[in-house]
Chains A and B, each alone.
Chain A
Amino acid sequence: MSLHTAEHDSAERITAGHVTAEQGPAGPVKIGIRGVGKTFRIRGSDRPFTAVEGIDLDVREGEFLTLVGPSGCGKSTLLDLIAGLTAPTTGQILIDGRAVDGPGLDRGIVFQQYALFPWRTALANIEFGLEAKAVPKRERRERARHYLELVGLSGFEQRYPHELSGGMRQRVAIARSLAFDPDVLLMDEPFAALDAQTRESLQEELLRIWEKTNKTVVFITHGIDEAVYLGQRVAVMTSRPGRIKQVLDIEFDSREGDLRADPGFGEYRHHIWTLLRDEVAAAQEQERTVG
């Protein structure tokens, strides 16, 4: 499977381990994160809780960016901010140069726990976003069928979520987010609850769908392998308060065969592992003291 388009290849030919600035090298900026910080007030404490701080990051149009960091580093907070579900305390987030002021159908989210509506069939779940978009019923049905087919679940239209396996539920959730045709797909550890085989097959399929649909993807994970396998760039976050520690370009000569066995893959993963090691220790220390 050839992942990178020729255009990307020429723009991104950077040797393994080389670290670029936060600014992506080419393409129009889709998501601009400018000096973003988020603090929460927590009950029974005077000290505000800083989830993320001073985040600067640009995601280019059509790019697949993975975001990796220790648990509790504010990855999900950052995703909520991009989604417009919460407002940043400082800085701002731009989509196509316009400041985000709330959730919208230009961004679709895929959650780790699927978040499917249990009273709706697979097909009706996919139609949900289209209903919000006021798409006529007939077209809704057609588009829902199309996206169910895209995720390889034709024939499961009338199944309720509880009648589907975890991997199938996540496919439906992905189809639901794709169906209303957002420019940006935000994925919050979507495969973390799945077993290893299912996860790998879904990773592969996600890349196939991404190639086909040209979405801008921001994919959160705490798995280094997953980050390297999926991302064109990997943003590594620090422990709380979360900042961007480094952004790595991921480039392989070929994605044929077992990519995970590629020596380049090992180099990337070791590099990120080294970056994360101290952060993980710091995060664990934090958990103990806050505990």
Chain B
Amino acid sequence: MADDTTLTVPHPAPDSAAPAPAAPARRKEPAQPERTAETAAVGPAGPPRGDVPTADDKATNFFRVAGKRRPPVAARLLAVVNRSLALVLLAGIWEALPRIGAVDAVFVPPLSEILAAWYDLLLSGQLLEHFQASLIRSLSGFGMAILLAIPLGLAIGWYRPVAEFLSPVLELFRNTSAVALLPVFILIFGLGETSKIVFVFYACAWPILLNTVSGVRTVEPLLIKSARSMGLGPVRLFQKVILPAAVPTIFTGIRLAGAYSILVLIFAEMVGAKAGLGYLIQDTQFNFRIPDMYAGIITISALGLLFNLLLLSVERRFSTWRTT
């Protein structure tokens, strides 16, 4: 407060700011390092000048400062190579170790053999059958979790009485491992599809529910205040402010749930199933079809990766406004 009561040194009239081309030079003045484009864009209703800093400009400036104006295609190619380098290295080691006899080729066959086994499984139609069985189960459970957990989470986050009523039960269940409940689901729903789908649903519902609740609860209060000041009632406020503000947090929950859906399903399929990737792995291991087992494992990794990529792209569509 004391600072504000002291008179500041009068600034030169903003109109006297240097013309556009001199803008970069101005930044170097030690006395005014924080000078922004605001200073220049003064004139009455004058159109803003082109040199206002933007995210894109900063990016190009960065490249300029680095001294190398790389064409974007080459830069992206380099990034791809850079990222896949570790994978290629891993594949090479996997191929080499069994071949030089460092590991037992019976238990860890070379990668090429596994890929060949994978291809055979694909041609025989077996892989597709198991893949399909798993996909239907995980998508059903995951989809149900989205449909039920998001509305429930919104209600819990928005209505305090609902939250107070439900939170002890929720607290209890979220701390109960889904895996521990699988026998219960099997007892109640039998060994068929239902128990597996319910199991996946249960595991997926928690991250979505909890993230939705926190997404609604952590909406910037100032935004709510601002919307209220413009006369928005509770319904419009929810629709136009709370929901869009919560979307990124909800998506974090959905992506987590997507990973869980595959993770827990494989477990359920290993415990009791007649099809599915989890069953494939378990079955091939029992029958000593080791390359087929690895082929199943690789397929699961690929499925998980695919799921995550898909969800990421959906997320990006819904939250283009985020800084990252």
Contacts and interface: CB of A to CB of B under 8 A. Distances in A.
Contacts of B13: 258
B222 A276 contact: no
Interface residues of B, number: 51
Interface stretch (B50-58, B63-71, B268-276, B287-295): B50-58
Given A85-B229, A103-B228, A131-B240, 18 more contacts: A105-B231, A115-B223, A128-B230, A132-B232, A150-B45, A152-B45, A155-B48, A160-B320, A168-B38, A194-B38, A196-B11, A197-B36, A197-B38, A198-B38, A200-B14, A201-B14, A276-B5, A280-B2
A153 B53 CA distance: 13
Given A103-B229, A115-B226, A197-B11, A284 B321 contact: no
B7 A269 contact: yes
A200 B48 contact: no
A83 interface: yes
Interface string B242-254: 0011010000000
Contacts of B226: 109, 111, 115
22 contacts: A71-B1, A108-B230, A111-B225, A115-B220, A115-B225, A118-B322, A128-B240, A129-B230, A150-B45, A152-B48, A153-B48, A163-B54, A167-B36, A195-B35, A195-B36, A197-B11, A197-B32, A200-B11, A202-B38, A204-B14, A258-B13, A276-B5
A132 B226 CA distance: 12
Interface of B: 1-2, 4-5, 7-8, 10-11, 13-14, 32, 34-39, 41-48, 52-55, 220, 222-223, 225-232, 236, 240-241, 244-245, 247, 319-323
Interface size class of A (residues with CB under 8 A): 35 or more
B4 A224 contact: yes
A129 B227 CA distance: 8
Nearest to A1: B44
A90 interface: no
Contact of A159 (B54, B228, B244): B54
B78 to A, nearest CB: 27
Interface in A165-216: 165-168, 180, 194-198, 200-202, 204-205, 208
A204 B321 CA distance: 31
